[in-house]
Amino acid sequence: MPKILKQMNWRLVVLGISLLLILATAVFPYIHDGFLKWRILAYLNLAWEMNIAVWWSGNLLFVSGLLAYQISSWDTDSKHAWIALTLLFFFLSIDEIGSIHERVGNLDIGSTAYAIIAIIAASALLYSVWVLWKTKSDKQGLIFLLMGIALMVSAAPNEYMEHHFDWPHYLVGPRDAFEEGLELIGAFVCLTSIARYQAADKLQSFTAGSGEKTKTAKVVLVGFCLHVATSWISAFHIEIGFRGNPAIWYVMAVFVALAFFFLLKAVNATGSSFILYLFTACYFTVVSISSMYFILPNPNRELDQLGLIGNPNVILALQLLLVFMLYFIHTRMFTRKEITLFLGGVFASWLNWYADSQFGIYILAGTFSLVTASLFLSYEKAFKRN
């Protein structure tokens, strides 16, 4: 790994990107219509949904949950506390991507649903804090975790004021930036606090052991079942409109987890192995980001202008080809099983193209994610270069 990358402080990088997004949100309303506003800042506006900025904030929460899940595999004294935190951060991430609490607020039972969600989330948090404090874990890290969650929760009164007060135009940008900034900085504080518990050598063991591989495979499969349910709801029971899409979360999360996995492998790699691992991590990151755009019910103008190549079914088939090519580069092997999976995926995309089913696109995207995870998380088989 190059020396400059080893010396890079990831916390400063994450904080810098987060501050950039907050600034972009603050100035967005005051920028004149044009390329800068609609081709750059629109993607960085935290007050919008289904863009790169929301992808970033949702993934700070998801990676926090991912780290908590990994810690649960070796901190046996506090195992259930870390599992509770994992589920809490995964839910917060789904909410960020899928606009869950905004939709719940529009229901007749909105107040009751809010109360139930709040009680469950608070119970999980209090249980985790009690266990971690009792087991004499890193108490300073625990205090930072509570501070981060408090910052995220403090955005709730601001959201209430957003819906019950008419704000003058000249305050819209700062108000949006303040509300979204509280949530984003809170997520950053939570991530850094959980990372305190995780030594670098422990991070390198992510999915490495056979027992951990099996557990991870089960989690990915359970996630796919959840994806089927959210896809059904997104396709048939809610109007996406300008809100987030919960059916995107599984695809986004799987590829972020894969990117995280390869980034950790690149840390101690050198030469061609470092380049390959880093390229793979970057590729999976791009796939995760692009999922926010290409499997929406209404593809954006950029995809429409691509014609046939911009069709979500065609995009999935092409991405499947790239994934299997990348798998071959890593393993130097391509068995009948991989060929069958690839041809089956292409055939399914072709069928759904003619069926023109949005639910089918969601399921294909989830299956694509599941297949990719099953290929690349098989450590002994997949990484001959180690």
- Give yes or no: residues 143 and 46 share one domain: yes
- The answer to whether residues 307 and 328 touch, using CB atoms and an 8 Å cutoff, is no
Say if residue 124 is in the same domain as residue 3: yes
Domain boundary among 153, 176, 203: 203
CB atoms < 10 A from the CB of 87, how many?
Answer: 17
Q: How many folded domains does the chain comprise?
A: 2
Q: For residues 240 and 183, give the distance between their C-alpha atoms in angstroms, rounded to a whole number.
A: 23
Q: Does residue 107 sit in the same domain as residue 45?
A: yes
Query: Does residue 180 share a domain with residue 130?
Result: yes
Taking residues 54-80, report their average pLDDT.
Answer: 90
Helix, strand, coil percent values for the chain (each to nearest 5): 80, 0, 20
Residue 108 structural domain? 1-203
* pLDDT one-digit tens code per residue, 168-205: 776 788 888 988 999 999 999 999 999 887 653 444 44
159 and 32: one domain? yes
In the DSSP assignment, the letter for residue 53 is: H
Task: Please tell me whether residues 334 and 195 are part of one structural domain.
Answer: no
- Report whether 102 contacts 85 (CB < 8 A): no
Q: What is the pLDDT of residues 321-346, one digit of tens each?
A: 999 999 988 888 777 777 888 888 88
Q: Is 98 in the same domain as 40?
A: yes
Do 233 and 174 reside in the same domain of the chain?
A: no
Query: In the prediction, which pLDDT does 240 show?
Result: 84
Verify that 179 and 53 share a domain, yes or no.
Answer: yes
Segment 21-59, tens digit of pLDDT: 999 999 999 998 888 898 899 999 998 888 999 999 999
328 in the same domain as 230: yes
Q: Are residues 172 and 227 in the same domain?
A: no
Residues 94 and 242 reside in one and the same domain: no
Where a domain ends, among 140, 172, 203? 203
Q: Which of 159, 188, 203 is the last residue of a domain?
A: 203
